[in-house]
Chain A
C-alpha cells in the first residue's frame, strides 16, 4: 500500500483509540480531574508516567542527538533516567502521603504561605510552557513530513485531539490514554531498532547489537564507527568534546530537573498508597529504560548507516562518495522538508559529508578536491528517517509516525493538565474563590486547560529552538526552582517560608537569566541572547544546559541561610512534616 495512505490509516486508528478511551474514562469530580480519583494501579501508573515522561524529545530527538554527539549524548541518557531514583527516594512517597492535588499546594502548605504557593505556580508555568513548546514543534515535524499537511494544520489537528481527551477526561482520561500511547510508542520505537540491528550485526537485541560485530567486518560496531567517523575528520564516537565539568553539571541538572517536573511528580498523587508510589516509580523507570537503552543503539546504527550511504566507497577515491543523481528516495523526500540539504560546493555531482571544521582533516580534504561539507542533516530527522534509510517496509514507517505523535501528545496532555490544575486549584480556588463548589472548580479546570492548549499551540508555531534543547532548559529551570523547595520541605524541618521563597526565586531568576543571556528564550524581541555562547564566556565552564545544577545549589544555600536567620516554622507545620514522613497515621 502507498506510504501516505498507510500512515493516515495507522495514525487515524491511534487517534480513534485515544478518543474512545477518553469518552470511556470521563472525569466526574475534581478528584478525577486532578489525580484520577487516586485509583490507578502502580503498573498502569508506571506506564502512564513513562508515556507522560517520554516526549517528542525522547522519541524523535534523543537518538539523533546521540548519533551526532557520541559519548557526550550520555548526559541525556543518564540525566533523564537517574532522576527517577531521586523521585522514588526523596519525593514520591512523601508527596503521596501528603495526599493533595498539586505541587504548589504542597509548597503552599509546607511553607504556610500563599506567596510561596504563587511563586511555585509561576515556576510551574514557566517550566511547563517551555517544555510544551518543544512538544508542539515535534507534532509539527511529524505531521508535515508524514501526512504532508501544512505545519499549521498539523498543529491544529494535534491541539484538537489533546483538547478532546484532556478537557473531557482530566487526569483520569489522560492516564488511560497514556497507557495506550506508551504501547504505541514503545512498539514503534523498538520494531525498527530490531530490524536494523539484525541488518547490521545479525543480533536482534539492539542493546547487545550495539556492542556486537558488524556482519562480515570482523570488528565491533562501535570500533567500526570510531574508524569511519575519524576517517572523515569527525571526533571519535566513543569519546566526547564537552568538558568533564560540563558533562557532570548537565547530567545533574537533568536528573534534578526530572525529579522537579510537576507533570511527573503529580503522577505519584494518583496511586492508592504510599508503597504504590515507591514501586510505581520503579515500574515507570523500567518502562522508560526499554526506550532509553535502545536509543543509544539506534543512534550508533543510524550514524553508521548515514555515513555508509554518503560514503559507500573508500575516503578520497573519486567514486567513494554517493553520486547525487543516485540518491535514495528518502534523501529526496527529506530534502523537500528542508531538514536535509545538499549543496554541491565543488561541483562534482557527488555528496561529500565530512567535518570541515577539523584542522587536521583540512589537508586531506584539499588533496581530495573537497571544498567543504556538502550535506546538512537536521538531528531531529534521524529517528524518523531511520526506517527509510534502512529500507524497512512501509508499515514500519507509518508506525514510527504514529509513535512520534503519541509521544508528543501524551507529554503535551500531561503538561497542559498540570498548568490547568495550577490555575483552577491553586489560583482560582486557593487565592480568589476559596468557597467555590466542586462542579464550578471542575469547569474552571476545563476552561484553563482549553486556554493553555491554545497558548501552547501558539508557542508551537514559533518555538524558541529545536526540541531537545528547549526541553533541556525546562529541566534546568525545574532543577533550580521546584526540586530543592520540595526536597527541603520534606527533609529539613527547619526550613521556613522566608527561606523557601528566597531560595526558589534565586534559583529561578539565576538560571533563567543565564539561559536567556546566552541562548535567548522568551525575550528574543528585546534582543536576547546578549552573550556569546562559548566556553570561555561561561561561568566555571558550565553551559546554559548545565547551569540548573548551579542554580539548584544556590537555591539550597540561600534557603538554608535565610531559614536559620529567621524564625522556625510554626508547630503545626513541623507536625505536618512528621506526618508525611511515615506511611501510616501520624
Chain B
C-alpha cells in the first residue's frame, strides 16, 4: 500500500466518523438536552418529542449509527483493498 493510498484511506475513514459523530451529537446532546424544551412543544404518539429523544429516540439512533458505520467501513476497506478477505 502506497503512503498516498494509506492517507486517502484514513481520510475516508475520518470523513465517515465525522458524519456519524454529527448525527450522534445532534440527536442526543442537541435534541435530548440543549433543545429539549423547544421540542417538548411538539407531541408525537403521546410523547413530548424532546423527552422522547432523551429517553428513547437517541438510543435507537445510536444502534442504527453503529451498523451504518460498520457497513460503510467494510465498503471503504474493500475499495482500498485493505479488507480481511
Residues of A within 8 A of B (CB): 66, 71, 73-74, 77-78, 81-82, 84-85, 88-90, 93, 207-208, 210-213, 220-223, 238, 244, 247-248, 251-252, 273-275, 278-279, 281-282, 285-286, 289, 292-293, 296, 578, 581-586
Contacts and interface: CB of A to CB of B under 8 A. Distances in A.
B59 interface: yes
A222 B77 contact: no
A582 B24 CA distance: 24
A335 to B, nearest CB: 31
Contacts of A275: 70, 73-74, 77, 83-84
A396 B72 CA distance: 42
A583 B28 contact: no
Interface on chain B toward A: helix, strand, loop, or mixed SS? helix
B45 A289 contact: no
Contacts of A279: 67, 70
A222 B51 contact: yes
A211 B57 CA distance: 13
B44 to A, nearest CB: 8
Interface on chain A toward B: helix, strand, loop, or mixed SS? helix
A38 to B, nearest CB: 13
Contacts of B59: 77-78, 81, 289, 292-293
Contacts of B69: 88-89, 278
Contact of A211 (B1, B24, B45): B45
A282 B62 CA distance: 9
Contact of B82 (A71, A247, A278, A585): A585
Q: Which 4 pairs, one residue from A and one from B, show the smallest C-beta to C-beta distance?
A: A211-B46, A74-B54, A220-B46, A282-B66
B68 to A, nearest CB: 9
Contacts of A289: 59-60, 62-63
Contacts of B13: 581
B6 interface: yes
A296 B56 contact: yes
B33 interface: yes
Interface bin, chain B: 35 or more
B26 interface: no
A586 B81 CA distance: 12
Contact of A296 (B1, B20, B55, B74): B55
Nearest to A252: B29
A166 B56 CA distance: 35
Contacts of B46: 211-213, 220-223
Nearest to A578: B6
B66 A293 contact: no
Contacts of B36: 71
B62 A583 contact: no
Contacts of B62: 81-82, 84-85, 285, 289
A342 B32 CA distance: 37
Contacts of B80: 582
B75 to A, nearest CB: 11
A584 B85 CA distance: 9
A222 B47 contact: yes
B63 A281 contact: no
Given A211-B45, A286-B63, A586 B1 contact: yes
B77 A78 contact: no
A583 B63 contact: no
B82 A582 contact: yes
Nearest to A284: B66
Contacts of B24: 82, 85
Max chain A C-beta neighbours (<10 A), residue from B9, B10, B69 = B69
Contact of B77 (A292, A293, A583): A583
Contacts of A222: 46-48, 51
A584 B82 contact: yes
A85 B84 contact: no
A281 B63 CA distance: 9
Contact of A274 (B17, B48, B58, B84): B84
A238 B33 CA distance: 12
Contacts of A84: 62, 66
Given A238-B40, A275-B83, A585-B82, A85 B47 contact: no
Contact of B28 (A93, A251, A282): A251
Max chain A C-beta neighbours (<10 A), residue from B17, B40, B65 = B65
A207 B56 contact: yes
B56 A293 contact: yes
Contacts of B6: 578, 581-582
A503 B55 CA distance: 33
Contact of A210 (B29, B56, B74): B56
B20 A89 contact: yes
9 contacts: A212-B46, A275-B77, A275-B83, A278-B66, A278-B69, A278-B74, A582-B9, A583-B77, A583-B84
Contacts of A285: 62-63, 66
B47 A251 contact: no
Contact of B70 (A78, A278, A578): A278
B83 A584 contact: yes
A238 B48 contact: yes
Contacts of A582: 1, 6, 9, 80, 82
Contacts of A247: 33
B85 to A, nearest CB: 8
A159 to B, nearest CB: 33
A77 B55 contact: yes
A79 to B, nearest CB: 9
Contact of A78 (B10, B28, B74, B85): B28
A475 to B, nearest CB: 16
Contact of B66 (A85, A207, A223, A248): A85
B3 to A, nearest CB: 9
A240 to B, nearest CB: 9
A516 to B, nearest CB: 28
Interface string B5-30: 01001100100010011001000110
